Structure 1
Amino acid sequence: MTLNAPVRPPDQELFAEMGKFVDDLAQAGVLIATGGLAMEGTHVSSSGGKVTVVDGPYPETKETIVSFALVEVASKDEAVALSQRFFGIVGDGEGDLRQVFGPE
């Protein structure tokens, strides 16, 4: 979510709408996990055999990831539809969809 974007302040209505959304995903059997992420973190990069570690928060960063949802859906279109529903609840912001690879 972009930090400088207008964000809907949390209120009881937002909590209720998000609760229903999460419950609907769980009932549909697609929700694997959700959670919030700390603003602080550690960035690790490697270049030319040298590993660099930088502790955050990162004031020069204009965007940060503040939460995640891990869902198992059949297609990218289904993931996009869930994202549209999510932003219909919370309002303005940004997100990324990423495929997770792992054991099957």
Structure 2
Amino acid sequence: MAKYMLIMRGTDESYAEMTKVPFEEMLATMGRFNEELIRAGVLVAAEGLDDPSQGVVVDFAGDTPVVTDGPYGETRELFGGYYVIDVASKEEAVEWAKRLPAVPGSKCEVRRVPGIDEFPQDNEWIARERAWRERTGQL
């Protein structure tokens, strides 16, 4: 099994379409999909994000980070939420991504989440992270 992140990305247009759907209907649609993931035993985590106007961007383009408050200008692709699933293959992760209840114009990026065992185990920082994961029940 391997973990994959399904990263939901939208545009200004797809976010506008999403606001046309009644909130209760959207919750029910996402809830049914979440329940499918739970029943299949693949859901690890899932979160949606607050409105982009409530966020900030920290830009590292210069010597000093520059913080800009939302709302933003035109956004071509905006990260809107994610799922982490534990499945047998990238192909299975893609099949789940294809079933996401998404509005037209949005996208879902599928990326594998490497496990801690894939990093050098003799590295001090990896050892510290492993110990923290063990203490918190993540391993």
Using structure 1 for the length normalisation, give the TM-score.
0.72
Give the structure with higher Rg (CA): 2
In structure 2, C-alpha distance between the alignment counterparts of 1:12 and 1:48, rounded to whole Å: 43
Query: Contact (CA 8 Å) 2:12, 2:74: kept in 1 or not?
Result: no
Alignment equivalent of 2:12, drawn from 3, 16, 27: 3
Measure, in 2, the Cα distance between the counterparts of 1:20 and 1:32: 16
Structure ranking higher in helix proportion = 2
Q: 95, 105, 108: which one pairs with 1:95?
A: 108
Structure with greater proportional strand content: 2
Identity %: 36
Q: Which stretch has the larger CA shift, 64-73 or 94-103?
A: 94-103
| Aligned 1:13-28 pairs, distance under 5 A | 15-28=27-40
In the superposition, the TM-score normalised over structure 2's length comes to 0.58
Unaligned runs of 5+ in 1: none
Counterpart selection for 2:88 from 44, 64, 74: 74
Q: Does 1:85 align with 2:99?
A: yes
- Give the number of aligned pairs: 102
**2:41 corresponds to 1:29:** yes
What is the rounded CA distance, in whole Å, between the counterparts of 1:31 and 1:54 in structure 2?
Answer: 34
Q: Distance in 1 between matches of 2:40 and 2:68?
A: 40
Please give the secondary structure, in 2, of the residue aligned with 1:9.
coil
d(CA) in 2 for partners of 1:103, 1:29: 21
Is 1:45 aligned to residue 55 of structure 2? no
5+ residue gaps in structure 2? 1-9, 118-139
Matches within 5 A, 1:55-66: 55-66=69-80
Structure 1 residue 31: Cα displacement: 0.5
More divergent stretch after superposition (48-57 vs 37-46): 48-57
| Root mean square deviation, CA, Å | 2.6
